[in-house]
Amino acid sequence: MFKGLILATFAMLGLLSTMSAISSDEVTKSSDLNATMHVEKLVLGSGCFWGAEKRYEALNGVLDAESGYADGHGFKPTYRNITKLSRRFDEDNYAEVVQVTFNSNIISAKELLQNYYESHDPTQKNRQGNDVGTQYRSIILTTSDEQASIAKAVTSEYQQLLGKADYGKIVTQIKPLERFYSAEEYHQNYLEKNPNGYCPDHSTGVVFSQDEKQQLDNTALLTGKQIVILDSRDYCPYCEKFKAAVANDYKGTIPMTFRHADQLNGLTIKSATWATPTILFLEDGVEVYSRQGYMDAELFYKALGAFKLGDSEAYKVAFNAKTDSPYCKEYTIFKNTPDGIFIDKLSGEPLFDTRDRFNSGTGWLSFTHPVKDSVTQHEDNSWGMQRIELKSKSTGIHLGHLFPGEGPNGQDRYCINATVLEFVAREEINRSDDV
């Protein structure tokens, strides 16, 4: 493909005569390079091609992955045509496939096919999860006799592993590739163009290397409130995006744990588990609520707020900008704590230090300033007043108001609602740092 493309381009530019003048040494070097690269192609169908394309591109040794159509007859292969209801069970329909170009010196055809089988359920005929139709069939289209032999051997090996796990017969078709048709441009790199979705994960959890399969102990997840994030064994851009936006900085008191879909033993999960990420909120091992797909920090913390705070005064303060009653229970507890830090009740991020606390006599917690870069300021013209609203930078929840010059010695007064805070003694912080 690459050589043909180069030759066609040179011919169009009238440069073929120039190529004939290239020295024999240069030709030899080019030949050596191609031999070293060992470029091969495999065309693989495992359901919707969007997630599969991205997954293959993330594998070391894969040079390119391109979404397209193959193994159909009788009509022009376009996304509109193959997804017509009249063709849902048409045996001549084209399959959604990915053409994988790879350097077999880095990733062998066997390794690529093992990854292929581990990434979907090859025992499902003409479907993967909720996607039903012949275009979603499991199929391997080879470009050499050697690949065909490898595909049959890998299939036989995986069938034995699936049988031990009580799965049925593999229905994956293995054929030589006749022709690959590239899909429309909007399907190429689809996940990058649609950043707020999820990666489909229809894997069985059965893997070739049993060292990769870990039946983890979920005992700790059976008590109290827990957050479980369903992650993918393969590269999932939405999972990585969620980690960067939320998980990597999360310090909340409700534990956050990552699991694969086949590692939920002992838990009572009501939702489908084929999408990554899926955020599960559990209580005593039972799913209370879940959200499928990527969640940004604002959406995640609002969901966490409903889960942790419920229909409470704290929730109304945090998300509806309400105000604690003066001298409320939490204020009474927090006004005389030992030396320590007040943290965001949801994210666990430090907000205020007891060393900056003072008694304003107002019935609300008051501080001369917050922890650096922990709060944001916003104009607030509610109730006919002009005030400066304070929000937590990490979660966006409402904290209170800033009153310039109303603190001791003309300093500012940060008037903060106690119900949206939690307290951590400094000695506990120092102890955890030592560990």
Other CB atoms within a 10 A radius of the CB of residue 115 amount to 20
Q: How far apart are CA 426 and CA 340, in angstroms?
A: 4
The owner of tokens 């022009």 is 76
Please write down the long-range contacts of 58-63, taking CB distance under 8 Å and 24 or more positions apart: 58/234, 58/235, 59/102, 59/107, 59/112, 59/115, 60/106, 60/107, 61/102, 61/103, 61/104, 61/105, 61/106, 61/107, 62/100, 62/101, 62/102, 62/107, 62/112, 63/39, 63/101, 63/102, 63/103
Report the relative pairing of strands 256-259 and 225-230 from DSSP bridges.
Answer: parallel
Dump the DSSP string for 342-365: EEETTT--EEEEGGGEE--SSSSE
Contact 350, 252 (CB under 8 A): no
The active-site residue out of 48, 199, 236, 239 is 48
Catalytic: 239?
Answer: no
* Residue 49 tokens, joined: 């091609």
Q: Which residues contact 385 (CB under 8 A, 6 or more apart)?
A: none
State the Cα–Cα distance between residues 81 and 226, nearest whole angstrom. Answer: 45
Instruction: Copy the structure tokens of residue 4.
Output: 């043909």
Nearest alpha-carbon partner for 300 in 247, 377, 253, 348: 247
Read off the DSSP letter of residue 201: -
Instruction: Determine how β-strand 413-416 pairs with β-strand 365-367.
Output: antiparallel
Measured CA to CA, the distance from residue 137 to residue 363 in angstroms comes to 66
| SS3 (DSSP) at 234 | coil
What residue type is assigned to position 345 of the chain?
K
Buried b / exposed e over 371-405, threshold 16 CB at 10 Å, is: beebbeeeebeeeeeebebbbbbbbbbbbbbbbee
415 is catalytic: yes
- Which tokens hold the place of 400? 């209170």
Active-site amino acid positions:
48, 415
